[in-house]
Structure 1
Amino acid sequence: MDKKLLLVDDEDGLRRVLGISLTDIGYEVHTASNAEEALERFQALRAPIVLTDIKMPGMDGLELLQAIKAIEPETEVIMITGHGDMNLAIASLKLDATDFITKPINHDALEVALKRAEDRIAMRRQLREHTENLERLVAEKSAKLLHAERRLATRQVLEGLTEAMGQLTTDVDAGESIFNELPCFVSVHNAYLEIIAINQHYRDRLGDFVGANSWDAYCDRKPDDEECPVGKTFRTGKGQRSREILTGRDGSDIPVIVHTAPIKGVGEDADVELVLEISVDVQEVNRLQEELRQSRERYRQLFDAVPCYITVQDRDFKLVEANRRFLQDFGGDPGELCHAVFKGRSEPCRDCPVAKTFADGETHESEEIVTTLAGERFNVLVQTAPILDAAGRVEQVMELSTDITQIRRLQDHLTNLGLLLGTVSHGVKGLLTALDGGIYRVDSGFKKGNEKQVQAGWKVVRQMVGRIRAMVLDILYYAKKRDLRWERVDALEFANQVADIAEAKAQDNGISFIRDFAPDLGEFEVDPGIVSSALVNLLENAVDACLMDKSGAKGEAGSAKDHVIRFHLSERGDDVLFGIEDNGMGMDQETRNKLFTLFFSSKGDRGTGLGLFMSNQIVEQHGGSIVVESEPGKGSRFTVRLPKVLAQSAKTSQTRETESGQACAD
């Protein structure tokens, strides 16, 4: 691996100290004191790893990151930032920085970031090697297939060749000079069924049969056999074609396809004077066909054994071929559209790497989130390679998608706690500001004796405290998974308590809130605190979906669409079902696929990307699931399934804690 590394920082001391550390690790360190100098050095070095400060005089680190990525997209760039520059660090990750480390630089954190960069470089190199090997294998086997097909086509060519050689009847020696060069058995026979001329290939493989009987070279023909191909040609005056077996010089059997052509004398009614016999050895063709079959089988096994998803697509993005792993996880028949099978989209993906490869013939890559037929979500690294036709044009594109979900999860665990603080700080600040406003209104109402103002202020305080509580619980739940504090709860009473919390926000925004609860469902086992938070989060998202609906749809009376949220409670077998349904903006499939991904939010700056992720974690911890149905412009429906009785594994840790606490008390 290329160990060159470019270190960029405007502090001389940091460059010297950090340069020594990096050299000790094994890197060839090159330094620059500002972004402009770094860009010039990068043009010459093309270092695979760049370590740069974010804040520098003149061009800053973000501008340098963009310039480097424009020159060499595969360069891994690690950003150095101060504790107060977290927003800039997050912005750098959005610009495809590999990672960031904070000042003062921790040596272990630096090594982790460098290891991640090296892993990404190694992964790309391995994928490139796999692609090149597959391309080479396809080229080799295609060449052999073409060669075999040409050998088989020789039979047709020979028929035309015999007609041309019929003009050589008056000069056998002249004819011999031509057919000596043919890679098949060529012989000329007279009317006495004697061989009067053979080519060198015939002589080398079968022996010198000049003067012998026409049938002597065949292993299953008898003396005076006029029914051999030559004898039939003299008798009928027509060329013959048959499969025969010749005997080689070493006594081996040589299967051949025999073609004969009559050579007549001068005049239309002239008799057949000579017969030209050409025998093609099909043994080599059979061997090549078998080798080709075996090679195809090995290629198929390799194609199916590669630990990634592989497809071959045409210019319309239709599947031409797919390996076993892709078919098992995503399905898809030849002719189906890749974006429909792989991403559930009706239109080609934005910035599709396959489209780029068709456009410029180069390899491209991207990172995507996909959902299998079983509902599993994977992070995949997609890389493409062109498949060229004989003229060098891109005929098809091979797409390799490697599952990097575990890598992303490990990366999340290492970086997301730091990102979490920066992501939610803006939201917390807004909530605290609103809370201050509510407290001010309460204080002012008390001073003025204005009860309505006190109630209005208290309502704001209560709402803000609830939101802060939910956010803190999300953060704590993410930071450290807590054990369930479960209890038996009446399902109908629990649903009404959740509805009371969410209904106020809906009504304040002019959205109808409908409760549809089945009575007499009895009790179920649940941690009411966190499940209530999860359901309220889903209900508040339904309110936001209605508020963000800009479709401008009209009702039957011509008025603007009335937004409605329906909260359902029912049971199915041993499960309790909570349904949350709205007629808001809805979602496409790509959004649904990413819905429960950490830090993904369709609300832009107004969302932290924590709520739905944590709601899904809470439901799964109870042994339940969330099913989402949605279409753009038609609203969404979330169905939350929770078991009435928790699995013993979910109760064990709390039982142990309770018993331990009793023992201590005793």
Structure 2
Amino acid sequence: MQKPNTTPYYNLSLKLIVAIAVVTLLAIMGGTMIGIRYQEKALLFSGLLFVCLTAFLCILIIKWVNRPLSKLLEGIRGIGKEDYEKGVWAHQNDEMGHLVKAIDEIAEEIGESRTKLKRQRIEYQNLFEEVPCIITVQDRDYKLISYNREFAEKFDPKPGDYCYYAYKGRHEKCVVCPVEKTFEDGRSHTSEETGFGKDGALTHWIVRTTPVKNDKGEIIAAMEMNIDITQVKQLEEELRRSEKKYYEIFNNIPNPVFVLDVEDLTILDCNESAKSVCGFDRNETLQKSFLELFQREERELYGTKLRTAALINNAKQINKTGENLYVNIRISPSEYHDQKVLLVTTSDITKLLEAEQQLIQASKMATLGEMATGVAHELNQPLSVIKTASSFFMKKVMKKEKIEDNIIMELSKEMDSHVDRATKIITHMRQFGRKSDMTSERVRVNEVLQKAFEIFSQQLKLREIEIEWQTEDSPLEIMADNIQLEQVFINLLINARDAIEEHAKVNPDSDMNKKIILKTASAEDRIIIEVCDTGIGMSEAVREKIFEPFFTTKGVGKGTGLGLSITYGIVQNHDGTIKAVSREREGTCFILTFPAAGAQ
């Protein structure tokens, strides 16, 4: 604070006092000299003294009151002009000094407060300008009073613009206006709006309004804050299109697709193909248990498989009319509306299985045709025995010769056993050739392999082909169709027989070992069957094609090319595998594996 210079005031006061004293003295002396009486002198002296005292008091007032007041007023005017640095100076340590000091302190506090307010105002203005959303202030006529930089950059408003023109290019107020509602009820309102930015691009935003009031609580304006949601809207539109696309794909998948609750297997959703296969409308299917599509006695089994397996082949279901249909089921875990589900796809293979059954039946007939010679050999032996015994009896009767009882009994037993053998062969052939639906039951591999061999035992003996059995003693059981499994073994035995004969034909002078080796074994939860031969073998190129339909290395009229193809299909339908290991002129080994009955 600047200290005022008071020296001129002191000098002036002294000069005035001295001048008054001199004048008074001269007046007294002059009076003496002119002979003024004593009373007049006293009166003159008193008047002069009064004048001096009055002048002195005036000087004091000017010095101690008027001038400090002038300084005080000057300082107050400075405060009024927001000049808080200059302040008010006073050197007196009296009431005036205390007053000036108090005013100085007040000025300092006001200055600090105004500085703080100014700083806050700048901060708030910066916030208003820099906030990452659009802010406008509008009057009751919807004219823009103020707006931030974000709004200016996006919409390029002009002075005096109305909000509806600046935002949307409209020439009248919006039909539904949140600002209007705020003016009406004094509350905040929210809405979603659409307009065009200064680049002409469609813009979406969320609007939030709030009233602006004066000191009397009257609404004088409305503040509108907008958050740009254009990108969100674009993403929503992309998501909507994506959902529509995938839902159309979902509904147009030709196979039924089900979305199942992972806990209770309830159907949460399904596509339109479910109706064409199962017969149920979508509304009938939803909230129905997927297990209701299976036979009641099989639901528990399929419930376990659906939760643990990824593929279920040849599953039997029932449609709305109660008819059976066969499907392959694929299961994969997924998520649906933030819920863990199973995505189940079924493929209707009913017609395919019917065609396969027809093909298998045709193959069985072809196999029976190929087996005709062998069957003839098999039946020839018991018929020969019966013929010999009957001829013996006829001769004895014609000659009226007595036949010993023991001979009659022995020949009768022999005839009876060979009749049983012939009956067994014929019954076996009838069962093998009979058309029947595929069934799955526990079968013992060794027993089925033995039955298949019995058909060929006599003809193999005639061809001097040895059978070597390397079967495991324990009962090896798998879940299979008994007749189809036997057909697999018969096809492999026919191939082994023909390969050995082909090898013998190519090398007639060689002393080859004609042998078929039949092996069975178990390994953990799998059953392994091997049918090996010492036949002609095959090249790698042939081996890669042997399971293809209609592929054969036999001459015309000696094979259909369907035997191994059907064998492969039957093995696959029983969740098994089959492969061939072969080298030319060294023989072939077919290796089959099936799941053990207890492991399925």
TM-score by length of 2: 0.38
Determine which structure has more spread, i.e. the larger CA radius of gyration: 2
TM-score (norm 1): 0.35
